């Protein structure tokens, strides 16, 4: 068993110490190291059960995709997060599929679904871990749902721009209106209209490269 | 310990046989029998943690409620179902609140949150049971989300009317347009407009008492 495997699991998977040596060995033999480029699909497009993803570095976005190609962002995962929904096949009560894309270049470890599934059936602790992570995502999805269904659109867009600025530490959100629309779960035309209004109010400047926030104070007033 | 308590738990709560006699006794002492009238709020409006609800008879509806009073239906529970989100305070990773109303007259058993919470911390079997139920609701919520966000409104309304007919075994959906709007997560005006269109197409007849479906075949074509 490679040392870095024991280190990874003992740091991030609380069930590690409850496993037998054989289980530890099996688990370590089932993980692979992968890299994803920014924008690459991590899970969903192949229709296969990718496995449990441990995100070593980077950011991924989980979303629903309609038959017509409409996307709704459910949540994002960051360095150190574990993704269970990419192993939905291993969890009995999960009957839906999400898509997951890399939003930055990512490094990750993947635990194969069948190995994880076998371990879950042997150990209540492993199942408990998987279900707890899933329940955490449930809370994030409800939050996203409340944003989409209850928040007026000016507020939603303002919150989105402020969140994006906080990540990049600058004053420009470098995204096309098409991309923004995908992330806030709306149509490009609706985003375009609202950005024009924000620009008219002197809150933002819209250019080809993205959206520059000029009056952050005003934007925050709309958001909160 | 009353006999009907052991019977209830051994039939519906798979962890029952893993409990000690003391735990069984405590659990049985913590349940109360309640009745709700059709339309009554079961959970949410008081802001308190009601507890785990076992629905003996009837139907309840779980929904999100916005500050402006907008409702979005998440799922329904029927006879024999267990509701965990009414004991959200007992589950660490649940950070949201739902509202639950009785849609029919209901009879239920309620397990007090603190008793259930204590049991969860003693037994992984109990905690995993709670989390499995929660994960099942997660799947139902994602389904509802897909209906609301992805389905065109004519399709959504058609699916709703067909579902309601299937429950009542007749050809009339006895609801006001206001009620239908709440259930499909839309505005009354939008429902009214679409029903007028359905009526114009000879699919339904709208009266004060509800919506009578005349051309079920056509309605199904819209729905599927």
Please tell me which of the candidates A72, A125, A142 has its beta carbon nearest to residue B149: A72
Residues in chain A closer than 8 A to B63 (CB atoms): none
**B132 contacts A134? CB cut-off 8 A:** no
Asked if B1 reaches chain A (Cβ–Cβ under 8 Å), the answer is: no
Structure tokens that stand for B109 in this block? 């058993």
| Other C-beta atoms lying within 10 Å of the C-beta of residue B62 | 23
Run of H or E residues at A57: strand A52-57
The number of angstroms, rounded, from the C-alpha of B104 to the middle of its chain's C-alpha atoms is 11
State pLDDT tens for residues B150-192: 877 888 899 999 988 888 778 999 999 988 988 887 778 778 8
Q: Which residues of A touch B67 (CB under 8 A)?
A: 150
Q: Compute the nearest-CA separation of A121 from chain B (Å).
A: 12
CA dihedral A50, A59, A137, A56 (to 10 degrees): 70
A187 contact B CB<8A: no
pTM assigned to the model: 0.78
Query: How does pLDDT run across A92-141, given as a tens digit for each residue?
Result: 889 888 999 999 999 999 999 999 999 999 999 999 999 999 999 999 99
Chain A: give the shortest CA distance to residue B206, in Å.
Answer: 28
Give the A:B interface size as CB pairs under 8 Å: 101
H/E stretch holding B113 reads helix B113-122
In order of A86, B137, B151, the CA distances from A96 in angstroms are: 11, 12, 16
Closest approach of A22 to chain B, Cα-based (Å): 22
Query: How confident is the model over A157-187, as pLDDT tens digits?
Result: 999 999 888 887 789 999 999 889 888 877 7
Burial B87-123 (b: 16+ CB within 10 A, else e): bbbbbebbeebbbbbbbeebebbbbbbebbbbbbeeb
Q: Which of residues 17-46 of B touch A (CB under 8 A)?
A: none
Integer CA distances (angstroms), B25 to B2, B17, B29, B114, B128, in order: 9, 13, 6, 15, 21
Give this complex's ipTM.
0.77
A91 touches B: beta carbon within 8 Å: yes
């Amino acid at each position: 068993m490679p040392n870095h495997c024991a280190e990874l699991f003992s740091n991030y998977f609380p069930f590690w110490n409850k496993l037998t040596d054989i289980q530890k060995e099996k688990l370590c033999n089932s993980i692979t190291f992968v890299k994803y480029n920014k924008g690459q699909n991590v899970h969903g497009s192949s229709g296969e059960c990718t496995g449990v993803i441990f995100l070593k570095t980077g950011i991924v976005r989980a979303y629903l995709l309609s038959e017509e190609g409409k996307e709704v962002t459910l949540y994002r995962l960051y360095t150190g997060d574990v993704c269970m929904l990419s192993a939905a096949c291993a969890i009995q009560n999960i009957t839906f599929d999400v898509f997951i894309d890399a939003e930055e270049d990512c490094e990750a470890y993947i635990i194969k679904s069948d190995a994880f599934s076998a371990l879950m059936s042997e150990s209540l602790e492993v199942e408990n871990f998987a279900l707890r992570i899933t329940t955490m995502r449930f809370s994030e999805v409800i939050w996203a749902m409340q944003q989409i269904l209850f928040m007026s659109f000016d507020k939603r867009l303002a919150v989105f721009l402020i969140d994006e600025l906080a990540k990049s530490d600058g004053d420009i959100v470098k995204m096309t209106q098409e991309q923004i629309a995908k992330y806030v779960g709306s149509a490009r035309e609706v985003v375009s209209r609202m950005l024009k209004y924000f620009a008219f109010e002197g809150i933002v400047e819209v250019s080809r490269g993205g959206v520059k926030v000029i009056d952050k104070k005003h934007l925050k007033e709309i958001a909160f």
